[in-house]
């Protein structure tokens, strides 16, 4: 059996290849992939970003496995003209890393994972951040915490916690954990749901300088409207890369 943390990071490998969940391959370039994630962490992470129940197309003109960017309305693949051979090699490097802490860091830094959505039914969602949310939840569940014990915690950009950090940037990092240890935080609530906007607004101290910085004000304003966690986290990454800031 694959290390549970590696299994969490590899559990949706079939979404890189376009295979259905039911017919997904058991291996990718010699490593175990598409294994079940224990303790319902995958389902909980999905509930943070996608509606429950039978999916329905939200963007009928886009049924690709590539993610649409809120910033541009395009897929990064189309905008950057990324060759398929490059994507294939980057996916290989991402999924075959054998050390779970290094694999987690690869996911945090990954550009290729950000090219894909969680589901073609919801093309603005992000496979990258769904996977990191799944990994953070399974880690917390494995050490005895329940969802309602957890909080979104804001760290400085130099602090990355293996398996718990879900987002990194030049301004701040974000993680899921039970103990804020004097860091800015907001409890996640009783059950997983598309609650990003609510949790973001509930932070007891905000990481963006909305009073003095116009672009950070725009970013914050939009983050207060987005419900899907993976969409919101990807939006922050896209916003910074898009150049909509001084």
CA-based R_g, the chain, Å? 17
Answer yes or no: are the C-beta atoms of 163 and 131 closer than 8 Å.
no
pLDDT averaged over the chain?
Answer: 94
Parent domain of 150 = 4-242
Looking at the 3D structure of the chain, how many domains does it have?
A: 1
Q: Angle 29-34-36 (CA atoms, 0-180°, nearest 5)?
A: 145
- Look-up: residue for tokens 């060759």? 83
H or E segment to which residue 198 belongs: helix 196-202
Q: What is the pTM of this model?
A: 0.95
Six-digit token pair at 113?
């994972």
pLDDT at 246: 44
Q: Per residue of the chain (246 residues), what is the pLDDT tens digit?
A: 469 999 999 999 999 999 988 899 999 999 999 999 999 999 999 999 999 877 777 776 677 899 999 999 899 888 788 899 999 999 999 999 999 999 999 999 999 999 999 999 999 999 999 999 999 999 999 999 999 999 999 999 999 999 999 999 999 999 999 999 999 999 999 999 999 999 999 999 999 999 999 999 999 999 999 999 999 999 999 999 876 544
Angle between helices 214-223 and 229-242 (to 10 degrees): 160
Rounded to the nearest angstrom, the gap between the alpha carbon of residue 36 and the centroid of all alpha carbons in its chain is: 18
Contact by Cβ (8 Å): 48, 193: yes
Q: What is the pLDDT of residue 128?
A: 99
- Looking at residue 62, its pLDDT comes to 75
Name which of 181, 116, 192, 126 is nearest 154 in CA terms: 181
- Interatomic CA distance for residues 57 and 150, integer angstroms: 32
Q: Note the pLDDT tens digit of each residue in 112-167.
A: 999 999 999 999 999 999 999 999 999 999 999 999 999 999 999 999 999 999 99
Tokens 């959505």 sit at which residue? 117
Q: Which residues contact 176 (CB under 8 A, 6 or more apart)?
A: 133, 136, 137, 140, 150, 151, 152, 153, 164, 166, 188
């Amino acid at each position: 059996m694959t290390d549970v943390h590696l299994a969490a990071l590899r559990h949706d490998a079939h979404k890189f290849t376009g295979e259905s969940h039911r017919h997904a391959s058991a291996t990718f370039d010699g490593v175990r992939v598409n294994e079940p994630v224990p303790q319902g962490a995958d389902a909980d992470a999905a509930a943070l970003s996608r509606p429950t129940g039978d999916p329905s197309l939200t963007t009928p003109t886009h049924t690709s496995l590539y993610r649409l960017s809120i910033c541009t309305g395009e897929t990064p693949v189309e905008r950057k003209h990324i060759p398929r051979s490059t994507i294939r090699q980057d996916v290989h490097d991402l999924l075959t890393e054998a050390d779970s802490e290094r694999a987690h860091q690869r996911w945090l830094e990954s550009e290729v994972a950000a090219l894909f959505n969680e589901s073609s039914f919801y093309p603005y969602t992000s496979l990258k951040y769904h996977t990191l949310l799944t990994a953070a939840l399974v880690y917390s569940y494995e050490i005895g915490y329940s969802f309602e014990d957890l909080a979104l915690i804001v760290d400085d950009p130099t602090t990355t916690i293996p398996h718990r950090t879900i987002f990194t940037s030049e301004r701040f990092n974000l993680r899921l954990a039970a103990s804020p240890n004097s860091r800015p935080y907001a409890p996640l609530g009783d059950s997983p749901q598309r609650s990003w906007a609510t949790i973001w607004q509930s932070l007891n101290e905000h990481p963006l300088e909305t009073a003095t910085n116009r672009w950070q004000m725009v970013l914050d304003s939009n983050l207060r409207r987005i419900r899907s966690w993976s969409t919101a986290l990807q939006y922050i990454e896209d916003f910074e890369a898009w150049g909509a800031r001084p």
